[in-house]
Amino acid sequence: MENMPFKESIINSVNHRYFDSNSELKWHWDKEDRWVWVDTETNWEIQLDNELPQQIPNNYAIFVPKHQWHRLIKGSNESCLIKVKKWI
């Protein structure tokens, strides 16, 4: 399995992914639909293919369809906790 750029725990079927400023973030796609959100203030961004980067507002879920290329973009915060709910 490939090394992932985050540390992860799963709580109540929600993946909690902790990224730090040393994480190597790449364009990627996933095999399932997912909702992603943060529940703290951050200035990290998400970018979907063919779209401009957008900040991830506190408690606002962003839908990422399966096979949609996307990436996380580091902000000035040292770290970011992203929550992911997958739909298989």
Q: Which CATH superfamily is domain 7-87 in?
A: Jelly Rolls (2.60.120.10)
- What are the pLDDT digits (tens) for 25-80? 999 999 999 999 998 888 999 999 999 999 988 999 999 999 999 999 999 989 99
pLDDT at 2: 66
Flag whether pLDDT at 1 surpasses 60. no
Cα(23)–Cα(74) distance, integer angstroms:
9
Q: What is the distance between the alpha carbons of residues 79 and 22, in angstroms, rounded to a whole number? A: 9
Q: Greater confidence, 21 or 36? A: 36
> In this model, does residue 85 exceed pLDDT 90?
yes
Alpha-carbon distance values, 72 to 12, 16, 44, 59 (Å): 23, 15, 7, 17
Within its chain, how far is the Cα of 17 from the centroid? Answer: 8
The domains of the chain are located at 7-87
C-alpha 53/C-alpha 31 separation (Å) is: 22
Question: What was the pLDDT predicted at 29?
Answer: 96
Cα torsion 41, 83, 63, 3: sign:
positive
Quote the pTM value: 0.88
Q: Is the pLDDT of residue 15 over 50?
A: yes
